[in-house]
Every structure is written in structure tokens, then in C-alpha cells.
A and B are shown apart, each in its own frame.
Chain A
């Protein structure tokens, strides 16, 4: 158990800079999720912590000890891979015991640790089997067992659930969360799945093009996205973004459709400033046709998901607008509908930089 500190870490492949200076201190026992699209550098960052990639600049410290020059085996970490990376010719027991055996831990203790991990992961019946005789979920558990028995300072997960089907993924997600709560081991978890990130994380590090867009708790990231990128990445369906301009008195946002949306507090200094206006689909609700600041949309598509309904609408000027309503559909395609944002549902972003305007 330990802290993991990442100080201004950079990674270049020749002239290409993959990671452009990431700074974060992960607390002892914290669950940090690295979230971002493919190619954003999140896996590279994790592999740098693991010692599988060299560090071009900056420092990584595990438990207060700088590990830049240490081999993976000396960093006191355990890693769970996307394709599990189990040794195909070894039994489940040997897979879990291998790392301990190399470290010269006595046989009796290996036995005890593996048995304990197997019990936690409900793998007891499978200890004599080979990975090829296990299902995907069971292999995933063995990979986690191999990490647990090491009793490392930190767990590193590299998209561990990507190879599982949707139902199993949900199940394993809950198990990982429970396990981490129980063991209290500092964890870094890479994923591109925002639901995994939201449900597992104590804090999320949202990455894009090798830069940390935002670091915060799942709710902070959802409620106060620091940039347009984060706003678009977190939340499903994604946030609606409209071009807008703050009016001359700094009291409202004007959108090209003619709506005037009142700001929670007036900001005279920003009068006349062009902005991007973000509204989450779930924060739009049906309103009376003449509701001030309401958006009139023509419904193009209705997706009934059971618990809620996603409406794909189009504004008169051709912009798309998504609305998420609770319950089964009450509207039909080609209907007209007026929707209005709920109080405090407006997010403002700088029109040029995309950063959040507070």
C-alpha cells in the first residue's frame, strides 16, 4: 500500500510527444481511473508506471521512492492485462504462484496466499485447471488473483474488462470495486468506458492527446466538466453543444435560434463574448410551446430504452439536439416538441480554447 506520484511525466517517441506533462498524486488506497479515447496516452502512462515503457521526462514515485530507473519487478506493482496474459501451460495455481515462486517465498506461504486469493475470487474449484479450460470471466479472475497474491503497493489495470461481454463486464466491474474496497490497495485503472470510470473511480483523470484535461471525482467531472472535450466524453448520450454569445448586459446567453437563456448570475465583464453553450440531454425537459428560452425541435428519431427515452431532435436552424426523458416515449417521430433546460443546467465554454467559463 502506497501513494503513487506522477510529476510532470513526459513521453516522446522520436519527435512525437505522446505524453505532454502529467501531474497527479494518487493517495494511498485511492482508485484512480485514467479515461480517454484510444491513442490519448492513457495506456502509455500506465505502462510507464509499470516500468514497461521508459520515462522521457519527469518522475514517477511509488511509496515515496522514485522508480524511474527500476525494473518492473522491483517497483512492487502488479498488473492486470486486457488479454489477461496468463501463462497458457500453467495451471491456475501455478499462474498465481509464479511471481511468488520467483521471489523465493516459502512454499507454505505461497499455498496460503493463493488459497486465500482463490477464496476471495471464488476460484477454489479451478486451481488445477489450465487457462484454456476457463471462461473469459474466470480467466479475468485468475489475472486478478495473480495480482492479489503479490500484495503489491499498487494495482495497475489496463482495460481489464474490454474482452468480456456486456453482462459479464458489469458483474466484474462490481467485483473489482468490492475487491478494491476490501483490500484498500492503491489502483490505477485504464479504460475508455465512461461507465466503468464513473462507477469505479475515486478520482478520474480524463486524458486527451497526452494532456490531462481534468482530474476530479466522477461527479465533479460530470457536473463541472473542465473543457468541451470532457463534456463530450462524459455522459451518455453526449452533451449538446450550441454556439452562443453572452448578451450585452451579461445576463443571458443568446443562441442563433433566437433563444435567450438566463445565466444563474450576471457576468457583466463577459458581455458580448462568444461562447459554446453545453446542455446535457438529461437536463432538457418538455415545456409549453411558448416557454421563454425553450427550444422548438422537430423529432427525427426516438430511441426507447425502457427506463428512459432518447429523442434526436433538430432545431429550426438545422442544429441537432438530444433530449433524454425518463420513462417510455410520450412523443413520436416527426412531432414538434418544445424543450427547456432545467435550472443550473447550462455549461459555458470558451469559444476558442474550449475551456470551461465559470
Chain B
């Protein structure tokens, strides 16, 4: 009896320790955002909430300047990040589902060549092709635009492969039944394939939204003006080079705000996952 209770306890303890390790830095950030900069600056951050929360968040959200530096307000950066992340997620899904549709359902010359072409781009991370990409974007005059932020990141081999694999599991008879019912390729795609893919789309949306939101290197390169700043690059710019003290209270508040949209997406989309699991239709 005691033996089994001990064995039951072990996984719980491991999990609790794990949660604490992961949660602690977030907790510190949260607490830090409620104290004034002097308290944090002294190096002795208390582990309980302070009284400056409302003021800090208000300042970070709308303020043009902290006590020691000039910033882009968080609301601008959030909007920029949101536009970029949504464009990347929606764009990637739209392009990859269409190319997967082409590769999986149509017979055309060089079909496999195109497939492999898409496939090998998996081997080229953004960083490898960043200079030519930058050159193209700059020549197109897309520096400091939403298009410049999002379009180069939209092509996605991973999502294409994922959709292709899913499409291959759809029985041929379904396509044939649709043909006999009189549905052309576009109708079949809209009326049958899209609704069947919606749980895949939801899952990809979560992953790709967070991917877009967390982009750092590319936004750093293609934005130079403050009003195109995204929040991830913005936070790092708030942290100075060490020659002057930082507005830690504002940095912490900004960080907490930066976490909210990805968390919201995960929480909202989780319902879709569960729904997809409950009425599995295949």
C-alpha cells in the first residue's frame, strides 16, 4: 500500500518541480511589472506584487518614453506583431493547402519535381537565404511595410507536406463521388476538402501564429522606423547596451503583454482541437 502510494507520488513530484521551473521566470516577470524601476534597479526584487502595476502597464501601453529612454508604445508594436503573425499564419496556410491540393490530386508534368522542389526548401532556413531575400525585398521597396515583414516568411514546405499527407488519406472514392455529383476541382476543394481539413488548419494556425509572433531576425532587418517595430524586436531594443540603466519595470510589463496574444490563441484554439477529437469524422 505504502509502496504504491510512493510510486504514485513520484510522477506528481516530477511534474510539480517541472512546472515550478518553467513558471518561475514568468512569475518573476509578472511581479517585476508591478514594482517601480528603483526597487528593481537595486537588485532586490521582492517575490510579492508591488503597487505600481496599473501605472507601469499604462505607461508601457501608450507611453512614448520611459524614465531613461524613448520607446515605441506597446500598442503600436502589438498591432505590428499581430498583423505580421496573422499574415504569416493565414498566408502560409492558404499557400500550402493550395500547393498540397495540386500535388496530391492533380496529374501534371513535373509534378514530382515540384514536390521535391518544395521539399528541399525545408533544408534552407530563413537565415541562409536572408541576404538575397533582403535584397529582393529592398528592391521591391517593401522595407518598413507589413508586406515586407510577412511575405518572405509565407512559403512553407512543412505545412505543404502536412496537408499533402492528410490529403493522401482521403479515399479516392470521395473525389470520384464528387466528380459524379458534378463538383469541379474548385467546388471539391471548397465544399469537401476545406471542411475536412479544418482541424489540421486549426492546429497549424496555432503553430504558425506563434512562429510569426516570435520572429526576430527578419523584422530586425526590414524595419528601421519605430512605428513598424514588432514587439519581440522592441523588447530587445528596450534593453540597453549596459551603459545606462534599464527601465526594467516597463520591460517586464511589455514582456507580459507580449505573451498574451499567443496564450490567447492557444487557449481559444484548444477548443477546436478537442472538438476535432470528439467528433472524428473519418
Contacts and interface: CB of A to CB of B under 8 A. Distances in A.
A: contact size bracket: 20 to 34
B196 A89 contact: yes
Contacts of B171: 83, 85
Contacts of B110: none
Interface in B144-166: none
A73 B181 contact: yes
A63 interface: no
Interface stretch (B12-20, B84-92, B274-282): B274-282
A102 to B, nearest CB: 4
B181 A132 contact: no
B180 interface: yes
Interface string A80-122: 0111011111000000001100110000000000000000000
Contacts, number: 65
Nearest to B192: A87
A79 interface: yes
B111 interface: no
Given A88-B196, A89-B195, A102-B187, A52 B174 contact: no
A99 B279 CA distance: 25
B196 to A, nearest CB: 6
A220 interface: no
Contacts of A131: 281
Nearest to A104: B182
Contacts of A86: 177
A99 B187 contact: no
B282 A88 contact: yes
A85 B177 contact: yes
Contact of B182 (A81, A89, A99, A132): A99
A132 B179 contact: no
B162 to A, nearest CB: 19
A102 B181 contact: yes
Nearest to B196: A89
B173 interface: yes
Contact of B191 (A52, A81, A98): A98
B176 A81 contact: yes
A248 to B, nearest CB: 59
A71 B181 CA distance: 11
A216 interface: no
Interface of B: 171, 173-174, 176-183, 187, 191-192, 195-196, 279-282
29 contacts: A51-B179, A52-B176, A52-B179, A72-B180, A73-B179, A73-B183, A78-B180, A79-B176, A79-B180, A81-B173, A82-B173, A85-B171, A85-B174, A85-B176, A85-B177, A87-B192, A88-B196, A88-B281, A88-B282, A89-B195, A89-B196, A98-B181, A98-B183, A99-B180, A102-B181, A102-B183, A103-B182, A131-B281, A132-B279
